[in-house]
């Protein structure tokens, strides 16, 4: 009961925090706890208005009318079963006329679905294409992440319903008995309006506020994988003007550059970032970073995060970004740079600290002349200028993110939407069709997954050099907890394929080279691709884990202050 | 207007023919032609009852009430837009309580969908999981196939709505103006109840009728690919008892057997089946035959077709089967055989004619000792007893269907649901996991498509011999009209891959053999698979077309009476 009450309060609180004021309720049994707590909220908060309409079909059209006035999402609440189906006519109308509605459909609990329970219809995606999104929340799951998720998700729902083209979102809420909430208990504090809704251009006042932040606080810029053609020059100019360190993801297209820091993931793993380098504020650009550690670190240290960019609003799986700005990133950068006045910031020590750390880190990890998976990643700096490097998922992208400092202009590309290992060769061939010198860094398992893609190199007359790190199987799993399950590990995760890369090269009429030293790899990488070439570097999964561990230990020892 | 009128009459006529009597109409503009013609039908046909209810939500529940009485599908008719959405509550109720409803949702024409036209909502799959099926008909398309399709499909819809678990079917009907139908014109004749609805077991009377057919008429049994584990013995016993020729698909698991005829497709292509061998009645078992010619031939000759088997009701894309019996095929065979009394049929000349044709055909096409794609198919008779032969789609399955007379017990398997060329090797490996000697007959393009599947042979410790007909590309396209487009043909359809099969064998550590004579192929096929073996037979696409054409010419010359 306590969990249910807490979660419903978060759900309703988040709706109101993000700007919702109007609710239309069609009473019923299953919706009891939501209805009661909503009544309590309305009794205590003047801005919240609740209307009751017993016929759900009518209620849907009533909510539509209110939203036509306010241009803000109106929330509907119904009990389970055919009651929820009655909204469809109003949903269809709202969808086409771009009226934001949020429909809370309470439902029978999941354990009663589809097995003949009374009053239980399939409410999953009930409004089909007429709702913009369908989400389902578990209000009875007791887990701190869940409550935080409800907060974040419901604010996101308000944003999504309002974002052009505005429309309808169904939030399905399975609930099991007992349904009575605890009344007259404390309501939680919810972050105020987290999403700057639908603003394509910030106001002068907004920009002035941001400038204040840039000049008066310790700021960090974090750039994830680039999918919006972020203007690198503008970003680096901003960094220079306000002396801001830039943590740049391997796929950010921002490396190399003044103030650009590499390897955040391994620096965090080694725990060598001093307290005084922790920023007050972070401006986050781009998609989810390759580093899995950087967002939790910001959260732990309670750094205020502004997430910038129209593609990324509500896409912070750390559920921590306090403000998401729906704005064209390049336009915002230009606005910030256009602002007159000189920065008055004085924390040069802060930037200097970051740069010193970065420098020492680079010196330390680039000493090694032995061929290992990390030094393979480093060696990619030898690729010719204007080369394109497609990096496969799993280990290669992680090593590139931590250990590659490009020296020439280098475009780094990967498939980091869903991080799959499928179709990698075909994607790299797609990249290579533009005629630029193209390289692919890939493990043997990922290579095997799309081996047919090699045929395209010949059929389409492509030039592609593939660097295959052959550790005979799924190398990344050796870093994960399942590596402990020795009896089953190799069959289920290691999956050694015993591929003979030379024979693959033969089959696809490609050149083949086996490399075992760093200088010979360097020499190979300087060559411009011609037809298909497979460069095999044999690695060992167990040894690779040790190599990575030793590196972390070394960083810990040398860079700890 | 004439087309619209004709098609609506067929749609309504088919509903009534299959047993619908009750209609509930909520009037509106878009549904005008259907409503008017329905009124005309009801005026002329006492059994047809039409009720009007202006509120669609209410109409839905009214229809539900009627269907609860009659246990037969009730048809609802609505105009376009949110009107249709009002049915959802009743649809949800009907779906769960298994009440058959057929919902005709008239719609704005396709050219107005999704581009801002008024009163146009997305009616596609409007009731989501609450409708069993969604179909869309074009009532304004003037094409004889379309009208026939409407007939067949609407009878099928009645069947599907009634079949357990009974439920709701949405039939969406986009209509463009002008919407006025022609009234007081002639109504078409529609086949009476085509689908024997939901009968798991035939009555004695039904069986007696069928026995009458078996004894008094020229009957043919046509067996398509087996997916219901048809009892071969029962089927052949029935054929023997009533002296019925059996046209058995390569995938029917009925070959070889007394009275079993091979190669219907090429016999029809050569046009050598005499008029007196055309049956009066055909009993069709199994899925859609590999032969594309056999169903049109039955239709052209107006042969009465009974389609048997619970998987296949409504699955006659020739739209010709007059009766589909929803019955377990083996149960029906047992019932027919259990029926006492001796057959009185005297058309032994009919069966003898078929067997003579079959015999002459076999003699003719098995004379050839040159290695060609057809003789490769024939050579599969040399596989060891209890072998399993997986046959790839495209040309291999066609040649096997026409030219293979197995001599040992041979299980022939293919993927003939969607006839794809993808995943063939992996499927064959799946078949081979049962440990029986397994062979795969496949073309080079299909082999390439799933080449990664070869890795499984080693990883799973499978024994598999693959016979690769390497004609360097998509051989089947050379038989199709696009072969005339010489300028683009090879790039778009021929798609030569220049695969080196020997290198593939090397890569996957398989044995490799190149075969160029029939005796050496025969010798190879007698060997039991051990590990992976690739047997390559080089063929030429152009020459293969000529080989097939020459065979047809020879059959035409020698077997024409």
User: What ipTM was assigned to the predicted interfaces of this complex?
Assistant: 0.89
Confidence of residue A10 (pLDDT cuts 50, 70, 90): very high
Average pLDDT over residues A7-11: 97
CA A232 to chain centre: 20
- What is the dihedral sign for C-alpha B526, B527, B531, B536? negative
Average pLDDT rounded to a whole number, residues A485-506: 89
Cβ contact B89–A82 (<8 Å): yes
Closest of A294, A322, A327, A302 to residue A221, by C-alpha: A294
* Residue B484 confidence class, pLDDT cut points 50, 70, 90: confident
CATH of B204-364, one of 3.30.465.10, 1.10.3720.10, 3.40.50.1220, 3.40.190.10: 3.40.50.1220
Mean pLDDT, chain A, whole residue set: 93
Over residues A287-309, mean pLDDT:
96
C-alpha span between A400 and A402 (Å, rounded): 5
Mean pLDDT over all residues of chain B? 93
Mean pLDDT within A349-363: 96
- Chain A nearest C-alpha distance from B128 (Å): 6
Terminal-residue alpha carbon distance, chain A: 49
pLDDT at A438 > cutoff 90: yes
Question: Does B274 reach chain A within 8 Å, measured CB to CB?
Answer: no
pLDDT in the model for residue A199: 57
At A177, give phi and psi (nearest 5°). Answer: -75, 150
Q: List the single range of A285-289, A342-346, B397-401, B538-542 with lowest mean pLDDT.
A: A342-346
d(CA A153, CA A165): 19
To the nearest whole Å, the CA of A165 is away from the closest chain B CA by 13
CA distance B225 to B417: 9
Closest partner residue to B126 (CB to CB) among A57, A95, A128 is: A128
> Contact B167/B161 with Cβ under 8 angstroms?
yes
**CA–CA dist A545, A382 (Å, integer):** 25
**Euclidean distance between CA atoms B1 and B417, whole angstroms:** 38
Contact of B504 with chain A, judged by CB distance below 8 Å, is answered with yes
Query: A-contacting residues of B 115-144, CB under 8 Å?
Result: 120-122, 124-126, 128-130
Report the distance separating Cα B284 and Cα B277, nearest Å: 17
The CA distance from B537 to the nearest CA of chain A, in Å, is 18
Residue B561: per-residue pLDDT: 65
Contacts with B121 from chain A: Cβ below 8 Å = 92, 95-96, 130
pLDDT in tens, B236-267: 999 999 999 999 999 998 998 889 999 999 99
Contact B89 A92 (CB under 8 A): no
Predicted pLDDT of residue A231: 96
CB proximity B273 to A under 8 Å: no
Whole-prediction pTM: 0.92
Is pLDDT above 60 for B202?
A: yes
CA neighbor of B504 nearest in space, from B495, B515, B512: B512
CATH number of B2-192: 3.40.50.970
Has residue A213 got a pLDDT over 70? yes
A464 strand-pairing partners: A532
Instruction: Out of B95, B124, B500, name the one closest to residue A507 (CB).
Output: B500
**Token pair recorded at residue B395:** 């040309």
Residue of A57, A126, A506 with shortest CB distance to B128: A126
Distance, in Å, from the CA atom of B552 to the CA atom of B557, rounded to the nearest integer, reads: 9
Asked whether the predicted pLDDT for residue B197 surpasses 60, the reply is no
Asked whether the predicted pLDDT for residue A344 surpasses 70, the reply is: no
The third-level CATH classification (topology) of the domain covering B367-559 is: Rossmann fold (3.40.50)
Among the ranges given (A30-34, A437-441, B43-47, B205-209), the one the predictor scored with the smallest mean pLDDT: B205-209
**Chain B interface disruption, residue of A26, A61, A89, A98, most B CBs within 10 A:** A89
Average pLDDT over residues A124-136: 97
Nearest alpha carbon to residue B400 among B255, B526, B303: B255
pLDDT exceeds cutoff 90 at B375: yes
Output the pLDDT for position B494: 79
Of the candidates A82, A93, A507, the beta carbon closest to that of B507 is on A507
Q: pLDDT band for position A352 (50/70/90)?
A: very high
Per-residue pLDDT band at A495 (split at 50, 70, 90) = confident
Is A92 within 8 Å of chain B by CB?
A: yes
Structure tokens at A234: 């503008």
Residues of chain B contacting A92 with CB distance shorter than 8 Å: 81-82, 85, 121
Give dist(CA B235, CA B213) in Å, integer. Answer: 16
Helix (H, G, I), strand (E, B) or coil at B128: helix
Do residue A89 and residue B96 have CB atoms under 8 angstroms apart?
Answer: no
Element housing A523 (H / E): helix A518-525
Q: What is the mean pLDDT of residues A262-272?
A: 96
Residue of B nearest to A96 (CA): B121
Region B504-527: what's the mean pLDDT? 97
Residue bearing the bigger pLDDT, B380 or B488: B380
Kindly tell me if the per-residue pLDDT of A197 is higher than 70: no
Confidence label for A200 from pLDDT (cuts 50, 70 and 90): low
Q: State the greatest distance between any 2 C-alpha atoms of chain A, in Å, as a whole number.
A: 78
Mean pLDDT of B466-478: 90
Token pair 């009066």 is found at B280
Task: Check residue A561 and give its pLDDT.
Answer: 65
Does the distance separating the beta carbons of B92 and A88 come in below 8 Å?
Answer: no
Length of chain B: 561
Q: Is the pLDDT of residue A74 over 60?
A: yes
CA dihedral A492→A498→A500→A504, nearest 10 degrees, is -30
Please name the residues in contact with B432: beta carbons below 8 A apart, sequence gap of 6 or more. Answer: B388, B438, B462, B463, B464, B529
The closest of A122, A131, A123 to A105, measured between CA atoms, is: A123
Residue B82 predicted with pLDDT over 60: yes
Mean pLDDT of A36-63: 97
Tell me the mean pLDDT in the region A529-538.
98
Longest distance between any two alpha carbons in chain B, whole Å: 78
Q: Which of B96, B449, B506 sits opposite A121 (nearest CB)?
A: B96
Residue B199 has pLDDT above 70, yes or no: no
pLDDT surpasses 70 at B345: no
Task: List pLDDT tens digits, range B275-333.
Answer: 999 999 999 999 999 999 999 999 999 999 999 998 998 899 999 988 888 888 999 99
Residue A93 to residue B86, Cβ atoms within 8 A: no
Main-chain phi, psi angles of A473, to 5 degrees:
135, -160
Nearest CB to B85 within list A92, A459, A500: A92
* Band of pLDDT at residue B201, cut at 50, 70 and 90: low
Section B471-479 average pLDDT? 85
CA distances from A448 to A541, B236, B462, B506 (A): 17, 48, 19, 15
Q: What is the chain A residue with the closest CA to B504?
A: A507
CA pair distance A506, B497, nearest whole angstrom: 15
Averaged pLDDT for residues A94-99 = 96
User: How many Å apart are CA A17 and CA B463, to the nearest integer?
Assistant: 65
A504 touches chain B (CB under 8 A): yes
Q: Looking at chain A from residue 482 to 501, which residues have their Cβ under 8 Å from any Cβ of chain B?
A: 497, 500
**Thinking of the domain A366-559, which architecture would CATH place it in?**
3-Layer(aba) Sandwich (3.40)
* Segments making up each domain of chain A, as ranges: 2-192, 204-364, 366-559
Q: Give chain B positions within 8 Å (CB) of A93.
A: 82
Do the domains at A2-192 and A204-364 have one common CATH topology? yes
Is residue B50 within 8 A of residue B43, CB to CB? The reply is no
């Amino acid at each position: 009961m306590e969990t249910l009450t807490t979660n419903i309060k978060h759900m309703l609180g988040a709706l109101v925090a993000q700007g919702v004021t109007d609710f239309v309720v069609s009473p019923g049994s299953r919706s009891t706890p939501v209805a009661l707590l909503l009544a309590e909220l309305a009794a205590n908060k003047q801005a919240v208005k609740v209307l009751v309409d017993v016929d759900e079909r009518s209620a849907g059209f009533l909510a539509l009318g209110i939203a036509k006035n306010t241009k803000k999402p109106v929330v509907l609440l119904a009990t389970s079963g055919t009651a929820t189906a009655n909204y469809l006519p109003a949903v269809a109308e709202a969808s086409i006329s771009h009226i934001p509605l949020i429909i809370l459909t309470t439902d029978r609990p999941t354990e009663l679905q589809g097995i003949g329970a009374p009053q239980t219809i399939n409410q999953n995606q009930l409004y089909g294409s007429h709702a913009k999104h369908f989400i389902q929340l578990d209000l009875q799951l007791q887990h701190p992440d869940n409550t935080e998720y409800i907060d974040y998700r419901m604010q996101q729902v308000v944003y999504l319903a309002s974002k052009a083209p505005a429309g309808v979102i169904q939030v399905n809420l399975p609930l099991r008995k007992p349904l009575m909430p605890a009344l007259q208990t404390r309501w939680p504090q919810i972050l105020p309006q987290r999403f700057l809704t639908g603003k394509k251009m910030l106001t002068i006042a907004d920009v002035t506020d941001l400038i204040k932040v840039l000049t008066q606080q310790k700021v960090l810029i974090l750039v994830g994988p680039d999918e919006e053609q972020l203007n690198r020059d503008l970003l680096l100019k901003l960094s220079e003007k306000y002396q801001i360190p830039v943590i740049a993801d391997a796929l950010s297209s921002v490396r190399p550059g003044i103030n650009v820091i590499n390897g955040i993931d391994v620096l965090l793993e080694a725990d060598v970032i001093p307290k005084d380098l922790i920023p007050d504020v972070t401006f986050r650009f781009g998609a989810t970073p390759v580093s899995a550690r950087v967002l939790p670190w910001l959260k732990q240290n309670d750094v205020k995060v502004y997430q910038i960019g129209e593609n990324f609003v509500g896409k912070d799986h750390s559920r921590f970004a306090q403000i998401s700005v729906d704005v064209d990133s390049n336009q915002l950068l230009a606005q910030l740079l256009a602002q007159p006045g000189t920065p008055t910031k004085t924390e040069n020590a802060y930037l200097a600290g970051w740069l010193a750390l970065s420098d020492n880190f680079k010196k330390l990890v680039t000493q090694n002349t032995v061929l290992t998976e990390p030094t393979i990643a480093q060696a990619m700096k030898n690729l010719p200028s204007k080369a394109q490097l497609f990096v496969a998922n799993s280990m290669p992208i992680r090593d590139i993110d931590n250990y590659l400092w490009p020296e020439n202009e280098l475009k780094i590309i990967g498939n980091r939407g869903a991080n799959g290992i499928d179709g990698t060769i075909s994607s790299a061939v797609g990249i290579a069709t533009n005629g630029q010198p193209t390289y692919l860094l890939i493990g043997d398992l990922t290579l095997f997954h799309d081996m047919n893609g090699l045929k395209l190199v010949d059929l389409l007359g492509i030039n592609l050099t593939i660097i295959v790190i052959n550790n005979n199987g799924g190398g990344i799993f050796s870093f994960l907890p399942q590596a402990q399950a020795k009896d089953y590990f190799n069959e289920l995760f290691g999956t050694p394929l015993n591929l003979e890369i030379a024979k693959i090269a033969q089959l696809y009429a490609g050149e083949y080279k086996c490399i075992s030293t760093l200088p010979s790899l360097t020499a190979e990488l300087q060559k411009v691709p011609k037809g298909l070439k497979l460069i095999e570097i044999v690695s060992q999964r167990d040894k690779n884990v040790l190599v990575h561990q030793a590196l972390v230990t070394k960083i810990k020892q040398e860079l700890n202050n």
